[in-house]
Amino acid sequence: MQSVNKNPYYPDIPIFLVLIPFISAINYYLTYTNIKLNGFLLLTFTIDTVQGYFGWWGARSFIFHLDKRLPYEKNLVKRLFIQVAGTLVIGLFIISILTEVVSLIARGRTVPLDFYSFDLFIIGIWFLVVNGIYLGIHYYKRYQESELQRLHEKQIRTEGLFVKQGKQEILLHFQNLEGLFVDGDYVVACQLDGKRFYLTQSLDKIEKEMPSEFFFRLSRQYIIHRQSVVGFKRIENGKILVQLKATSRFPVEITVSRLRAPAFKSWFQPS
């Protein structure tokens, strides 16, 4: 089930709006030994944070591009390799260019070489973290979708039974079903209005999908809804004869074996 939000990685934007200043602060701690709290520090910290936002946005755009061209599910190993390599190159390139521009404007010269040997190395590690966050969000979203799908299927199983009719799939609501019976190679689902639907699944498999509080397997041939049962009477050898409402689709009476009889009594007359 699709989320209403069009961003498949939501809430990545608020996460990184908070995370990138935090990363910049850690980078300052790792890079400088003598940090003085003043206006210059605030200015450089702001510039570095803005550069971080640009670098992240470039990496993010590349990840979104890969989602269209090479989804994770298509080839995970290839996708991860291209994504990590691509986001590193794009992110570090953007930050390097912006850093050079700022240095030329503010100081009139290019940045020192140790920026490329030390600072970019640390920044590159953070881009690996960025990839990890996006990968985690992706699979968490897939997990959420699978859980929603599972709950949806569970809800369907409690509401009705899906049957194919041509190219259509029709939901037969349990409350409208009179019961099911075996007819040759098929199982026939009968509605209260007289409509019949032919199922290719076995009665054993269908039985597992039916809510036991409403349906009972009388024999190898019949599953009946509680609303179709009028009563029952005991016959020889511990067997019972289940009496049904008179219709043209089911016998008026169906024999239940001695082994099934106690379960039917408990189902039909729960204590």
Q: Are 178 and 250 contacting, i.e. CB atoms less than 8 angstroms apart? A: yes
For CA atoms 67, 73, 74, 75, give the dihedral sign: positive
Strands 160-165 and 240-244: unpaired
**All domains of the chain in start order, with CATH:** 12-156 (no CATH), 166-268 (2.40.50.40)
Terminal Cα-to-Cα distance of the chain (whole angstroms): 41
| Distance from the Cα of residue 91 to its chain's centroid | 30
Q: How confident is the model at residue 235 (pLDDT cuts 50, 70, 90)?
A: very high
Asked if 23 and 126 touch (Cβ cutoff 8 Å), the reply is: yes
Q: Which residues of 134-170 are buried (b: 16+ CB within 10 A; e: fewer)?
A: bbebbeeeeeeeeeeeeeeeeeeeeebbebeeeeeee
215-217 and 196-199 beta bridge pairing: unpaired
Determine the Cα–Cα distance for residues 150 and 147; give it in Å rounded to an integer.
5
Q: Could you tell me the two tokens for 48?
A: 């570095």
Using DSSP bridges, classify how beta strands 229-234 and 240-244 pair: parallel, antiparallel or unpaired: antiparallel
Q: What percent of the chain has pLDDT over 70?
A: 92
257 CB-contact burial (10 Å; exposed 0-12 / middle 13-18 / buried 19+): middle
Structure token digits, residue 161: 């039974």
Amino acid at 210: M
Question: Global pTM?
Answer: 0.57
Strand (E) or helix (H) holding 178: strand 177-183
Instruction: State pLDDT tens for residues 130-183.
Output: 999 999 999 999 999 888 777 756 665 567 887 877 778 888 888 899 999 999
Residues 141 and 7: beta-carbon distance below 8 Å: no
pLDDT higher than 60, residue 5? no
> What is the DSSP secondary structure assignment for residue 110, as one 8-state letter?
P
Q: Can you tell me the distance from the alpha carbon of 102 to that of 98, in angstroms, rounded to the nearest whole number?
A: 6
Q: Which residues lie closer than 8 Å to 233 by C-beta, 6 or more apart?
A: 240, 241, 243
Cα gap 61→70, rounded to integer Å? 14
**Confidence band of 122 (pLDDT split at 50, 70, 90):** confident
Name the residue with tokens 């300052």. Answer: 28
The two tokens of residue 111 are: 């940045």
How do residues 87-102 score in pLDDT, each as one tens digit?
999 999 999 999 999 9
- Is 60 exceeded by the pLDDT of residue 2? no
> Which pLDDT belongs to residue 3?
39
Retrieve residue 116's tokens: 């490329």
